[in-house]
Chain A
Amino acid sequence: GENVEQHPSTLSVQEGDSAVIKCTYSDSASNYFPWYKQELGKRPQLIIDIRSNVGEKKDQRIAVTLNKTAKHFSLHITETQPEDSAVYFCAASGGSYIPTFGRGTSLIVHP
């Protein structure tokens, strides 16, 4: 089955800095890669996703890149704000549509 590794497990940045979270996957058949943000005590919420037919996608301050050859994808957050503090999960899924999640990255943005 699919295996998703996510790094780092904790990321601490100053407000205004950029943050990058990286994930690798094992199944070359995976073709859909969503990212979720989970605030304390709340549900994971989809913030951005990318499919295997594109290499990069942006939405305001967040962007995701995908390298199919290397089987890794990354989340980039620019101009971080305290409200970006949360746990971020990457996931990968393929033809079965079953998403496999990474272990999560706890992002802390210091004012």
Chain B
Amino acid sequence: DAGVIQSPRHEVTEMGQEVTLRCKPISGHNSLFWYRQTMMRGLELLIYFNNNVPIDDSGMPEDRFSAKMPNASFSTLKIQPSEPRDSAVYFCATGGGAGGYTFGSGTRLTVV
């Protein structure tokens, strides 16, 4: 089991550019979460999918953020246009419904 796979590991982009983060969940896990981690705010839930359907996106900060899960094996988080304050580590985590969520390695995003 390769675990939750995120790409890229690091992303440096200029303000105004589009950024796409990717996540491949653990096979069989039907819950998928996108989190943002910063020193100031800790781990913030951005969006939660269950069986590929967005259930709670109340944590998505602005319309610049969007997330999709077209199938059970892939999800994306897109920021368009990116801003310096979006700089953070973005984690994807998945779970099998009974708890025990597994995190990916994260994407460290730097917007300059």
Q: Let me know if A43 and B104 touch, CB within 8 A.
A: yes
Q: Is B112 an interface residue (CB 8 A)?
A: no
Could you say which residues of chain B place their CB within 8 Å of the CB of A42? 105
Q: Which residue of A lies closest to B48 (CB)?
A: A98
Interface of B is mostly: strand
Q: For the complex, what is the distance from the CA of A51 to the CA of B31, rounded to whole Å? A: 19
Q: For the complex, what is the distance from the CA of A98 to the CA of B56, rounded to whole Å? A: 9
CB distance from B4 to the nearest CB of A (A): 8
User: B77-112: which residues lie under 8 A (CB-CB) from chain A?
Assistant: 91, 95, 97, 99-106
Identify B100's interface contact among A34, A43, A100, A101, CB under 8 A.
Answer: A34
Task: Give the number of residue pairs across the A-B interface with Cβ within 8 Å.
Answer: 45
Q: Which residue of A lies closest to B99 (CB)?
A: A32
Q: Let me know if B95 and A97 touch, CB within 8 A.
A: yes
Q: Let me know if B102 and A101 touch, CB within 8 A.
A: no
Q: Let me know if B91 and A44 touch, CB within 8 A.
A: yes
Binding site for A on B (CB under 8 A): 31, 33, 42-43, 45, 48, 50, 55-56, 91, 95, 97, 99-106
Binding site for B on A (CB under 8 A): 32, 34, 36, 42-46, 49, 51, 89, 93, 96-104
